């Protein structure tokens, strides 16, 4: 006889809500709110939430438990086995379209893959995977994308000189690259489309509660989709729009309706790149290692080529670390659409399931939980560990992961090739456990030319004992 799923006590519910659920809502589910994040970073709310979740894991022996969510009970997934159970299950039984995603995303991507169900989801998934070349290590338009990223990073660095790099300046440059990749060169300066999406994402944070703004929101959505439609009609060579013609689609696919998710996802990638740059800035020895990776790959394959970027395993591993340490998609939500087996019991349809990925990534059981450890990806250890899921896994895995892991390292290579960075804000130190909550909107770097002196880096105790030696690179 299966044991019933345990329920958190009133005090545990309160602690979890105060440290994770409420800060998550205030931070913004669809676009981050820097002002709230300042407060959360000061309190390091995620560190507190991690302590709460660590205690829950111990107390309930790693079994998933019922907690109280904002709109009812939620199954909080607390073990590696249950993460695997949920993420490797059918995406029809464990749907990605959880109620808060429906409430928020339907404002700006009502016809997207995430919100689709049944056969329509399969149809749109095939389309997304084909255009984004999800199964390919290198996107067929990869060479062109490398040129675009190199161009825009060069323009950024020429503007910054040996001065100050802010998150806003980087975002503006990366958004230009994103628009060229998505829509073609003619969209480079189409700031309006990015603004339309930003306005809708800000509104999505209210989860559709501001019903009096519905008419205005529908008008914004129409304008944004109108622009996407006209880019799709042009299908500029070298852009993702040019891939539409070869991708499998039906009368119901709605290619245009898929695109606003991609535009949003490029912001997620930009955040990951900045987080990784910050890690390099506070770990100069690792930045030197990355520079060596860039040098040797570019000497062999040429500057800014796909072949060179794919031969930079240390940069790719570092980006994955940037995404592990501060997961830009902090929570993976699912909702059951039919009764499903759960440890010999049945979960009914309509159950909300929560994987707090940003906390599991920092599970104290991981030897490298709170430090920058690209070597854990190079050895394959982090990639095989079900605690760690920056791109999710299984049927709901991000179809843009491969593209992101090509474009991200290319941008980092361009930034790091001839420059050193000092992190001015927020404060972080290599000899302390890295904070769990940061306000990535506040990143400011002093940009310098590489100096003649060898970089110095404070070494935390665990690493002095040899815990941080870099294992031999894998075949990846």
Tally of CB atoms within 10 A around 164 = 12
243 token code pair: 């891939």
Q: Quote the least distance from Cβ 334 to ligand HEM, whole Å.
A: 7
Residues 111-150 that bind ligand HEM (CB under 6 A): 113-114, 125, 128, 132
Identify which of residues 228 and 323 has a Cβ nearer to ligand HEM in the complex: 323
* Residue 426, helix vs strand vs coil: coil
Identify which of residues 59 and 395 has a Cβ nearer to ligand HEM in the complex: 395
Identify which of residues 281 and 407 has a Cβ nearer to ligand HEM in the complex: 407
- The answer to whether residue 409 forms part of the interface with ligand HEM (CB under 6 A) is no
Identify which of residues 148 and 403 has a Cβ nearer to ligand HEM in the complex: 403
Looking at 23, 142, 328, 374, which residue binds ligand HEM (CB under 6 A)? 328
Order of strands, edge to edge, in the sheet holding 332-336? Answer: 65-69, 72-76, 352-355, 332-336, 94-95
Q: Quote the least distance from Cβ 221 to ligand HEM, whole Å.
A: 18
Looking at 22, 102, 329, 446, which residue binds ligand HEM (CB under 6 A)? 329
- The answer to whether residue 404 forms part of the interface with ligand HEM (CB under 6 A) is yes
Identify which of residues 67 and 114 has a Cβ nearer to ligand HEM in the complex: 114
54: Cβ–Cβ under 8 A, 6 or more apart, which residues?
363, 364
Segment interacting with ligand HEM (CB under 6 A) among 208-216, 335-343, 398-406, 418-426: 398-406
The C-alpha angle 281, 282, 285, rounded to 5 degrees, equals 85
Distances from the Cα of 71 to the Cα of 12, 100, 299, 351, angstroms: 17, 9, 56, 11
DSSP state for residue 435 in the 8-state scheme: P
Task: Give the torsion through C-alpha atoms of 427, 378, 376, 178, to 10 deg.
Answer: 40
Interface size with ligand HEM, residues (CB under 6 A): 27
Segment interacting with ligand HEM (CB under 6 A) among 60-68, 307-315, 396-404, 431-439: 396-404
Q: In whole angstroms, what is the distance from residue 277 CA to residue 420 CA?
A: 10
Residues 242-301 that bind ligand HEM (CB under 6 A): 261-262, 265-266, 268-269, 272
Q: Quote the least distance from Cβ 104 to ligand HEM, whole Å.
A: 12
Q: In whole angstroms, what is the distance from residue 417 CA to residue 291 CA?
A: 6
- The answer to whether residue 89 forms part of the interface with ligand HEM (CB under 6 A) is no
CA torsion sign for 231, 237, 238, 243 is positive
Task: Give the torsion through C-alpha atoms of 247, 251, 255, 257, to 10 deg.
Answer: -160
* Interface residues toward ligand HEM, by CB under 6 A: 96, 113-114, 125, 128, 132, 261-262, 265-266, 268-269, 272, 323, 328-329, 332-333, 390-392, 396, 398-400, 403-404
């Amino acid at each position: 006889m299966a044991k019933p799923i345990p329920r958190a006590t009133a005090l545990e519910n309160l602690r979890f809500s105060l440290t994770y659920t409420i800060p998550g809502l205030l931070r913004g589910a669809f676009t981050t709110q820097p002002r709230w994040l300042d407060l959360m970073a000061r309190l390091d709310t995620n560190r507190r939430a991690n302590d709460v979740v660590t205690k829950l894991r111990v107390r309930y022996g790693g079994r998933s438990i019922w907690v109280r969510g904002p709109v009812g009970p939620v199954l909080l997934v607390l073990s590696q086995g249950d993460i695997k159970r949920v993420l490797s299950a059918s995406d029809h039984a464990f749907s990605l379209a959880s109620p808060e995603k429906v409430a928020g995303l339907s404002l700006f991507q009502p016809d997207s893959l995430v919100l689709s169900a049944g056969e329509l989801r399969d149809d749109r998934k095939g389309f997304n995977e084909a255009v984004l070349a999800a199964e390919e290590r290198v996107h067929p338009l990869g060479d062109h994308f490398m040129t675009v990223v190199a161009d825009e990073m060069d323009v950024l660095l020429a503007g910054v000189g040996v001065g100050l790099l802010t998150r806003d300046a980087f975002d503006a440059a990366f958004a230009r690259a994103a628009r060229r990749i998505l829509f073609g060169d003619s969209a480079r300066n189409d700031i309006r489309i990015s603004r339309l999406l930003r306005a809708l994402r800000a509104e999505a944070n209210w989860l559709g509660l501001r019903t009096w703004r519905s008419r205005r929101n529908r008008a914004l959505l129409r304008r944004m989709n109108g622009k996407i439609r006209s880019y799709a009609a042009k299908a500029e060579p070298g852009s993702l729009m040019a891939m539409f013609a070869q991708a499998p689609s039906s009368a119901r696919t709605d290619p245009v309706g898929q695109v606003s998710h991609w535009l949003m996802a490029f912001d997620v990638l930009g955040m990951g790149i900045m987080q990784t740059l910050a890690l390099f800035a506070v770990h100069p020895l690792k930045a030197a290692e990355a520079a060596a990776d860039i040098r040797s790959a570019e000497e062999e394959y040429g500057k800014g080529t796909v072949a060179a970027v794919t031969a930079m395993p240390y940069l790719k591993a570092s980006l994955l670390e940037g995404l592990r340490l501060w997961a830009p998609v902090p929570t993976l939500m699912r909702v059951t659409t039919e009764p499903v087996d759960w440890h010999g019991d049945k979960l009914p349809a309509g159950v909300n399931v929560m994987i707090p990925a940003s906390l599991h990534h920092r599970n104290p059981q991981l030897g490298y939980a709170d430090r920058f450890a690209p070597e854990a990806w190079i050895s394959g250890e982090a990639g095989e560990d079900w605690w760690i899921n920056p791109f999710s896994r299984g049927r709901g895995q991000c179809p843009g992961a491969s593209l992101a892991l090509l474009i991200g390292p290319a941008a980092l290579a361009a930034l790091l090739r001839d420059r050193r960075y000092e992190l001015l804000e927020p404060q972080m130190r290599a000899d302390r456990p890295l904070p769990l909550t940061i306000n990535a909107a506040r990143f400011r770097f002093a940009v310098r030319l590489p100096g003649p002196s060898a970089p110095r880096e404070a070494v935390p105790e665990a690493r002095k004992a040899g815990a941080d030696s870099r294992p031999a690179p894998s075949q990846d």
